[in-house]
Amino acid sequence: MKKTIISLIIAGSMLFSGCSLITIQTDSTTAEPEKSIVSEETTAAETSAETTAETTKASETTAAETTAAPSETTAVETTVPVVAEQKGKVVVLATGGTIAGVGDAGKSAGYTPGTLTAEDLISAVPELADVADIEAIQVCNVNSDDITDKVWIELTNKINELSKDPDITGFVITHGTDTMEETAYFLNLTVKTDKPVVITGSMRPSTSISADGPMNLYESVCVAASEEAKGKGVLVVFSDLIFTARSVTKTSTYDVMAISAGELGACGVVRDGAVYFYEESVKRHTAGSEFDVSSLKELPKVSVIFFSVDMDPGILKYAAEHSDGIVIAGAGAGEFSEGFIEVVKDLKIPVVISSRIGDGIIIPDNLLVEGTIAGDNLPPQKAAVLLRLALTKTKDAAKIQEMFFEY
């Protein structure tokens, strides 16, 4: 009886030793552990002459299962250094707007814009981490109607400086929709990098039902991280669509698809994070632009005068006294009354003629007053942006006209 018990103890010891030795073999690629296994297994076999055939079979089966075990394969793989896929960095520059707005739960109106911080916006979209490494910068936190030329200049200078960092792939600016197109166009004319610069926002505050901000932010980061977006100028991403800064405009006071591009349309789309481009601007922009605001504290003043029936021409005289240039949002193809014509003839500052319609083009043949400047197809608010920058270079109407055709 004692002999039988001793035999079983020895057999059990062999099984335990066999499992341990085989585990070592799986975790090592050297020949020496294999020799050790063979030697120790042989020694164990010689030591126990009374081991039964069933015990030997059990030991072999255990060894085979241990060698093939998935857990052991995983252990081997974890000993090899794994290099994570390198992702670029996207800098999110927040300025406020509806996308950062907070109001009564569920409502889409009556909210306070510019409440949430850049970190708040980013933390609400954890999927951003799958696209790029995110850095947040709070530039300001205001309603976009309170954006100023100083904010524009700060944004441009920050982007131009940060773009020198090779680890940064692109930039996303969160912004209110009311003046988004003006900021986009200004940056399009002043940033000096081919890296993607994308602007986005939302039509619904963060506290509304089906807020559109998170998806717009996610898709904007996808575009900013995309190789395809390089060199295409400043872009606006909104509701799955991509627009050029020059063509984008706001077309509705409430519609979630309020950001559009009129007759020119979108230049691309975003679907499930994938970026597709179909068009691009042929106008000068970004690194190809002549405008430099790095040493400026403010821009020349430009007034936009909206013409309507029976409009008092005296408003033009007042604007001229307080402005470096004027943009007239004329009726139709940039037209206005005889009273306006008489005042415009005597103005000593550059006057750009645009249209209040929103679509179409103003060419020199449309001009009612010699020496005024045709605004091409820029809406009044964008014509004002270009005129302000043009005035940092020249006051000559002919040279400014060339700029309106180039940009």
According to the model, what pLDDT value does residue 49 have? Answer: 38
* Cβ-proximal residues to 350 (8 Å cutoff; 6+ apart), any chain: 324, 325, 326, 373, 387, 390, 391, 395, 397, 400
According to the model, what pLDDT value does residue 63 have? Answer: 39
- The residue among 183, 230, 33, 213 whose CA lies nearest residue 114 is 213
312/208 same-domain check? no
Mean pLDDT for all residues in the chain = 85
pLDDT higher than threshold 70 for residue 139: yes
49, two tokens: 């002459």
Buried b or exposed e, range 211-249, using 16+ CB within 10 angstroms: bbbbbbbbbbbbbbbbeebeebbbbbbbbebbbbbbbbb
**Is residue 295 domain-resident?**
no
234/109 same-domain check? yes
115/223 same-domain check? yes
Q: Which residues pair with 326 in a beta bridge?
A: 303, 351
Backbone angles phi, psi at 118, to 5 degrees: -60, -40
Question: CA-CA distances (angstroms) from residue 323 to 110, 145, 230, 304?
Answer: 34, 20, 37, 10
**Is residue 297 domain-resident?**
no
237/307 same-domain check? no
Give the residue-averaged pLDDT of 183-211.
Answer: 97
Catalytically active residues are 98
280/337 same-domain check? no
143/234 same-domain check? yes
179/239 same-domain check? yes
Domain that holds residue 317: 302-406
pLDDT higher than threshold 80 for residue 68: no
- Distance between CA atoms of 311 and 385, rounded to whole angstroms? 24
**Is residue 232 domain-resident?**
yes
**Model confidence band, residue 29 (pLDDT cutoffs 50, 70, 90):** very low
101/47 same-domain check? no
According to the model, what pLDDT value does residue 86 have? Answer: 52
236/275 same-domain check? yes
**Is residue 84 domain-resident?**
no
Number of separate domains in the chain: 3
Helices (H), 209-306: 213-224
25/95 same-domain check? no
96/195 same-domain check? yes
pTM > 0.85: no
Give the SS3 label for residue 139.
Answer: strand
Query: In CATH, what number is assigned to the domain containing residue 176?
Result: 3.40.50.1170
**Is residue 264 domain-resident?**
yes
**Is residue 359 domain-resident?**
yes
**Is residue 20 domain-resident?**
yes
Do 190 and 291 meet the contact criterion of CB atoms below 8 Å apart? yes
252/309 same-domain check? no
Domain boundary among 78, 99, 129: 78
Query: In CATH, what number is assigned to the domain containing residue 334?
Result: 3.40.50.40
According to the model, what pLDDT value does residue 87 have? Answer: 83
